[in-house]
Structure 1
Amino acid sequence: MSQTEHRRPEAGIFASGKPFFVGCNYWASHAGTRMWRNWDAASVEADLAALSKAGVQVIRAFPLWPDFQPLTAHTTWAQTFIEMRFGEEPLPDTPAGRAGVDEVMIERFRCFAELAERYGISLIVGLVTGWMSGRMHVPPAFERVNVLTDAQAIRWQVRFVRYFVETLKDCRAIAAWDLGNECNCMGIVASSDEFWNWCNAISSAIRLADPVRPVVSGMHSLLCEDQPNRHILIADQAETTDILCTHPYPLFTPHCRIDPVNTMRNAFHAAAETRLYGDVGNVPAFVEEAGSLGPCLSSERVAADYLRNMLWNSYAHDCRGLLWWCGHDQTELPHTPYDWVGMERCLGLLRTDRSPKPVMEELGKFGRMVAELPLPAFRRDAVCILSQHQDQWGVGYLSFLLAKQAGFDIEFQYADQPLKSSKFYLLPSVTGTWVISRHRWMELLHAVEEGAVLYVSSDNGSLEPFTGPFGVDIEYVAKAAAPGRIVNAARGLDLSVPAEFLVRYRNRCGEVLAEDGEGNPALVCNRYGRGLLICCNVPLETALVEMPRIFADGKPEYYRVYQLLAELAGVKRNVTRQNPALTLTEHEVDADTLLVVAVNNTPEELTDTLHAPGWKLVDAPIGPAPDAEGVLRLPRNTGAVLRYQRS
């Protein structure tokens, strides 16, 4: 068992084979973040009743840190610390007092959990909630303190978490403990070691108090290389927690706020990011927060289409569940962050009168549809290796999308991880002088010698050995004066690929699959042992990551390069289609039964013909079925589950 493999005997709602769940993040409609100090049980019950009736199955809830641990530091000369108090009152000589916890708040949370159980809602509890929607919330004792690294602040967080979990673990509605809401936003760490220590302290406190329920990461995006907390790593989160999560908002995630939210790029944002986390971390991952971020960014109809498409793709790609942000609109609240941030006021599934929006109707409908049909694992045909010193998210995202268009699915890993077993590898858009360590590179070349196919595209990256195995010499590398080209007249390929550098190949012994328009090789295939090495002199994936509308009808068909790669790798799917916007995942039930999830990733109705030689369509458990000729018609941004039997 690897150190990041799941360590619990039971992952609860996140376990493989459990139904895909739907729900939301929650703050009370009457008070938002002030719900605990302005507690109104009747209003909260009305909220939960409305959410449950509309189809919410899981809620992520937040015991706001300063409300539950309202510590004030009392100091003497030169701010020398003496003791913690509740305002002016000494801490009670009780377990709660020694943990600095307000017992009234604990009982309010218990009431909340009992109400959730009454309405059939499971809870994920974000424990250290010091960051929320653009505002910090910390006990008075820790104002202007880096609560991720300060030893005293961490001691009191551990005491709070240990007491909270120990006291409330008997609440049957609680399905999982979350470290807290986007705790990587609570302070800046100087190294991955500092944040690992914080995560390990909080996770250990949870596990000591409750060794049964899984621990969820709860972090904001781990993808932004230019963010202050770039030291917070997927692998570290997987080591210290049991379940990883994504918060895939197009507005905040690199390379996503480019196309309309109801088109292909964003239809796969949540699924691609969640698979990246789960694959690299080797633990379950789910979509913990998602949303269109209000009417200033999309209409209610478009937001509903976006959610429906995101749900279908998350379901098909083993993302375990999806929670919307958030339960209710907060248009009438005068306090911050709602007074500061206009975007935060209109993000609910329900309006202020608790009437459902179109997104709520879509979420509830989807949850009911898939409740009785958990999917087996989906087929993966290739391993995408993300190398060092590149934009790993951008390159991985585009590789995922090009593979989907080309009709196959990929699994992610990082170049410094042990090589995953496969017959088909992608090493896309390698850049710089630190691409992959020699021992990992030799391991990969050995896999090719044994029969695998490896594709490498160049963003001026250094690999050694390269020229011998790949059958080409690199004549020179220089700044590009014009976009690169991938031309194969016989296949109808003529693709313009913007690139910062021109890498000029001279072919020695390989098969030239495409030229650059000037007679020079651009895509070359060479036999290596029992396998194939394929090199491309332009960074196809990097070039497309910021290019708008590349997945729309009538745009250059860049995915056809990946189709060619799949052919050379011998990828043969059981069920195929023609339109690249119609994507398929295959889920083997047994040797003779196959479920296929077909998804239309466009805002228009789509018609295509499915081919399944050797298989007979039995039925469509969800959605429309193809006709006798295999013609499938899918409404915009929606999908279907098709059942085939071996014929």
Structure 2
Amino acid sequence: MTFHVTGGRLCRDGRPFTVLGVNYHPAGAGCRIWTDWDPTAIKADFGDMAAAGLNTVRLFVFWRDFHPEPGHIRPEMLARLRTAVRTAGDAGLACVVSLFTIWMNGQRLDLPWRAGRSLWRDPEMLDRQEAFARAAARELADLDDLLAFDLGDEIGNVDPAEAALLAPGDVAAWQRRIAATLRAERPGTLVTQANDASGVLGRSVFGPDNADGLDLVATHGFPTWAPGSIESTLSVKATHLAPFLARAAGAYGPAVVDELGSYGVDEDTAARYLRAAAASALANGAQGVIPWCWRDITSTAEPYRDRPMERLVGLHTADGGAKPAMAEYARVLRAAPALALRRDRAPVALYIPERARPRGGGYLDAGVGTVALLYGYLLLKRAHLDFDVVAGDVGGYRLIVCPSTTHLTLTDIERIDAAATGGAAVYLSLGDHLHGFPGEPLAGARLVDFSLNADGRSGFSWDGRRWEVDWAAAAAPPVTVRPTTGEPVAGYDDGSPAVLARRHGAGRILFATMPLERQLDRPGRLTAAPWEGWYRRVADWAGVPPGARCDVPDVEVVTGRSQDRRRAVVVNHRPAPVETGLTLPGGRRLRLRLDAKDWRILDLDPDPGPAGDPDGAP
């Protein structure tokens, strides 16, 4: 097939392919694209997309339109799907086809005959899905411009109560079954599953850490609905969200941010959000971005009658006029070959434990650990430390960061033990004293007790610097430990141990007795104090220098290779202009001014050629 995954990279005809797309409903038909069929309008839109520099369009197959009765799949609808994919290919666009689309824009456009039955466990519904997948794959079998089948947009929202009862194995078995059906009719077909942020930051069993049967992992970056105290669409955290999701999902497979955008904002805010989030996502290893969506919608049919604001989030007005966000996306499209960095292995690993996302929901399960992972990511970025996000073996890294651990399995503990024994420095902060504690041999201490009284524990000091702890935000009680082989290096205000250090084989372990990262989960708290200084101190302890030096924490610096040159992508995540000093790898120093939520590409090789940024580098 034309599209394939090689070495963890999405490729087309053997060459790396970066997805630069858009989600699509026709302006007039909206979600009635297949029933109010207008191939002329679709062809014109696809031509406009290609002319704007896009290479991909994502289409939604509203299952009820194709399969109105259990035993009847409408051949004329399959023919329309084929025409749409072929028309896209004629325009130079690849297609992502979202197959079992029921949930859309906050409403269920459901099959009249499903009658509430489970998509994932009901035998008849599974058989019907298999039949429809077989028919769709057969219809598109000879078209080379099908990039991937998406099994169903945010499909867990079709029946949240049922989805909450699913075990990870139920979802994995469903994915494997439908993917195998698709590949049987169209060998080599790539399959993905598009999930909202709860697939990384929540409890949903639909997520990249449960991706059996999938070739690509997809995630959606909308700050409006993401956990993690994102203060506003233009906050620092907001434009870090999509790149964080891409990095976290990328720990399990090639990741695409296949929905990206903002709601309830003015056009200038939407433009600034998209330019920083899209550029940062590509620089951080996303295999592509697909903003929501091409045009505003004029349709008044469902779901727009119930949710009319869903019609107004296009990159263009309904009559085709480009909005400011499209101008910013066009700039990203032009620079994408340079923005899409390929990074070397970093010295630091941000580790995702096996059970960072609870899978039981019982009283023994602690909170979702990936919110703390988000804050670990943000602190590493703000400290300008070069890191990988890792779910698996962490051997070979110089520093392993385990932020606010809530659940460690024996496998997690064995990985940490082996890495430290082999010479790595490990920093681990405690998120839950029952299931996140690594054990006395690693912590260098024994648990004594917890207390709901935080008196004397509102702050701790290390090397003469005091750090405050918000125990309410931490969602965990203070814990008392008794040092054994660990040496207390930081103490709470009452003198009790807060942080302990110990040798472990050829390496070292730094154990913090509080959820330092998770206690930052309050609006404004991340940027109200220089918390990144804590991570710089940890890196100094580990002997790991920053990848670049920058005097503004809100400015992100990502280094790597693109177009056979070493480059740095610099992104201002601040909602205001900045002027900053940079010292880049290799020693190059410069002053750089960036507008609010702006980005720049710098060439790190000697005798640089033209910068990848079409607006030029300083």
TM-score band, normalised by the shorter chain?
Answer: 0.7 to 0.9
The superposition leaves residues 42-62 of structure 1 with CA deviations (integer Å, 9 ceiling, x where unpaired) of 222232233333333211002
Could you tell me how far 1:136 is from its partner in structure 2? Answer: 2.4
The superposition leaves residues 583-615 of structure 1 with CA deviations (integer Å, 9 ceiling, x where unpaired) of 11221579x963222111111111111224744
Please, which runs of 5 or more residues in structure 2 have no aligned partner? 356-365, 608-618
Q: Is the 8 A contact 1:486 1:497 kept in 2?
A: no
Q: Is the 8 A contact 1:475 1:505 kept in 2?
A: yes
Identity of aligned residues (%): 24
Q: Aligned with 2:503: secondary structure?
A: strand
Mapping 1:143-182, distance limit 5 Å: 143-182=115-154
CA distance in structure 2 between the partners assigned to 1:610 and 1:284 by the alignment: 31
Q: Aligned with 2:416: secondary structure?
A: helix
| 2:210 counterpart of 1:236 | yes
Residue of structure 2 aligned with 1:364, choices 318, 327, 330: 330
Residue of structure 1 aligned with 2:382, choices 405, 413, 425: 405
The superposition leaves residues 526-545 of structure 1 with CA deviations (integer Å, 9 ceiling, x where unpaired) of 22232111111221111112
Could you tell me how far 1:219 is from its partner in structure 2? Answer: 2.9
Structure 1 pair 523–355 and aligned structure 2 pair: CA distance change class (3 A): same
Q: What amino acid maps onto 2:195 in structure 1?
A: M
Q: Aligned with 2:579: secondary structure?
A: strand
Q: Is the 8 A contact 1:54 1:356 kept in 2?
A: no
Residue of structure 2 aligned with 1:381, choices 347, 366, 382: 347
The aligned residue for residue 343 of structure 1 is 309
CA distance in structure 2 between the partners assigned to 1:7 and 1:48 by the alignment: 26
The aligned residue for residue 635 of structure 1 is 595
CA distance in structure 2 between the partners assigned to 1:292 and 1:602 by the alignment: 17
The aligned residue for residue 123 of structure 1 is 95
| 2:574 counterpart of 1:582 | no
The superposition leaves residues 399-456 of structure 1 with CA deviations (integer Å, 9 ceiling, x where unpaired) of 1001111111433345xx444542211222134xxx3234542442232122111112
Q: Which moved more, 1:246-255 or 1:215-224?
A: 215-224
CA distance in structure 2 between the partners assigned to 1:119 and 1:531 by the alignment: 56
Q: Is the 8 A contact 1:17 1:376 kept in 2?
A: no
Q: What amino acid maps onto 1:152 in structure 2?
A: E
The aligned residue for residue 568 of structure 1 is 541
CA distance in structure 1 between the partners assigned to 2:31 and 2:303 by the alignment: 9
Please, which runs of 5 or more residues in structure 1 have no aligned partner? 1-5, 74-83, 85-99, 617-628
Aligned-residue CA RMSD in angstroms? 2.9
Q: Is the 8 A contact 2:9 2:287 kept in 1?
A: no
CA distance in structure 2 between the partners assigned to 1:512 and 1:36 by the alignment: 66
The superposition leaves residues 466-511 of structure 1 with CA deviations (integer Å, 9 ceiling, x where unpaired) of 4455444555421133563132464x44434334422234556655
Q: Is the 8 A contact 2:339 2:601 kept in 1?
A: no
| 2:579 counterpart of 1:604 | no
Could you tell me how far 1:13 is from its partner in structure 2? Answer: 4.9
| Structure-1-length-normalised TM-score | 0.83
Structure 1 pair 266–380 and aligned structure 2 pair: CA distance change class (3 A): farther
Q: Is the 8 A contact 2:338 2:562 kept in 1?
A: no
Q: What amino acid maps onto 2:225 in structure 1?
A: F
The aligned residue for residue 80 of structure 1 is none
The aligned residue for residue 18 of structure 2 is 20
Q: Which moved more, 1:298-307 or 1:371-380?
A: 371-380
The aligned residue for residue 458 of structure 2 is 484
Q: Is the 8 A contact 2:93 2:145 kept in 1?
A: yes
CA distance in structure 2 between the partners assigned to 1:608 and 1:137 by the alignment: 50
The aligned residue for residue 372 of structure 2 is 395
The aligned residue for residue 307 of structure 1 is 274
Could you tell me how far 1:308 is from its partner in structure 2? Answer: 0.7
The superposition leaves residues 532-580 of structure 1 with CA deviations (integer Å, 9 ceiling, x where unpaired) of 11111221111112x112344xx11111111111112222245322211
Q: Aligned with 2:571: secondary structure?
A: strand
The aligned residue for residue 456 of structure 1 is 428
Q: Is the 8 A contact 1:326 1:348 kept in 2?
A: yes
Could you tell me how far 1:192 is from its partner in structure 2? Answer: 2.4
CA distance in structure 2 between the partners assigned to 1:512 and 1:135 by the alignment: 54
Q: What amino acid maps onto 2:257 in structure 1?
A: V
Q: Is the 8 A contact 1:385 1:425 kept in 2?
A: yes
CA distance in structure 2 between the partners assigned to 1:586 and 1:10 by the alignment: 19
Q: Would you say how many aligned residue pairs link Structure 1 and Structure 2?
A: 584
Could you tell me how far 1:284 is from its partner in structure 2? Answer: 0.1
| 2:285 counterpart of 1:318 | yes
Q: Aligned with 1:240: secondary structure?
A: coil
CA distance in structure 2 between the partners assigned to 1:216 and 1:593 by the alignment: 31
CA distance in structure 2 between the partners assigned to 1:646 and 1:614 by the alignment: 10
Residue of structure 1 aligned with 2:187, choices 181, 204, 211: 211
Q: Aligned with 2:305: secondary structure?
A: coil
Mapping 1:390-539, distance limit 5 Å: 390-414=367-391, 417-431=392-406, 435-438=407-410, 440-462=412-434, 466-467=439-440, 469-472=442-445, 474-482=447-455, 484-488=458-462, 490=464, 492-498=465-471, 499=474, 500-505=476-481, 510=486, 512-539=488-515
Could you tell me how far 1:101 is from its partner in structure 2? Answer: 2.5
Structure 1 pair 233–375 and aligned structure 2 pair: CA distance change class (3 A): closer
Q: What amino acid maps onto 1:637 in structure 2?
A: K
| Structure-2-length-normalised TM-score | 0.87
Q: What amino acid maps onto 1:457 in structure 2?
A: S
Q: Aligned with 2:153: secondary structure?
A: coil
Q: Aligned with 1:448: secondary structure?
A: helix
Residue of structure 2 aligned with 1:289, choices 255, 259, 265: 259
CA distance in structure 2 between the partners assigned to 1:408 and 1:226 by the alignment: 26
Q: Which moved more, 1:196-205 or 1:15-24?
A: 15-24
CA distance in structure 2 between the partners assigned to 1:522 and 1:178 by the alignment: 47
Greater Rg by CA: 1
Could you tell me how far 1:26 is from its partner in structure 2? Answer: 0.7
CA distance in structure 2 between the partners assigned to 1:44 and 1:439 by the alignment: 51
Q: Which moved more, 1:103-112 or 1:438-447?
A: 438-447
The aligned residue for residue 32 of structure 1 is 30
The aligned residue for residue 192 of structure 1 is 168
Could you tell me how far 1:111 is from its partner in structure 2? Answer: 2.3
The aligned residue for residue 220 of structure 1 is 196
Q: What amino acid maps onto 1:232 in structure 2?
A: F
CA distance in structure 2 between the partners assigned to 1:562 and 1:367 by the alignment: 34
Q: Is the 8 A contact 2:386 2:547 kept in 1?
A: no
CA distance in structure 1 between the partners assigned to 2:112 and 2:467 by the alignment: 63
Could you tell me how far 1:20 is from its partner in structure 2? Answer: 3.5
The aligned residue for residue 614 of structure 2 is none
The aligned residue for residue 294 of structure 2 is 327
CA distance in structure 1 between the partners assigned to 2:219 and 2:270 by the alignment: 19
Could you tell me how far 1:139 is from its partner in structure 2? Answer: 3.7
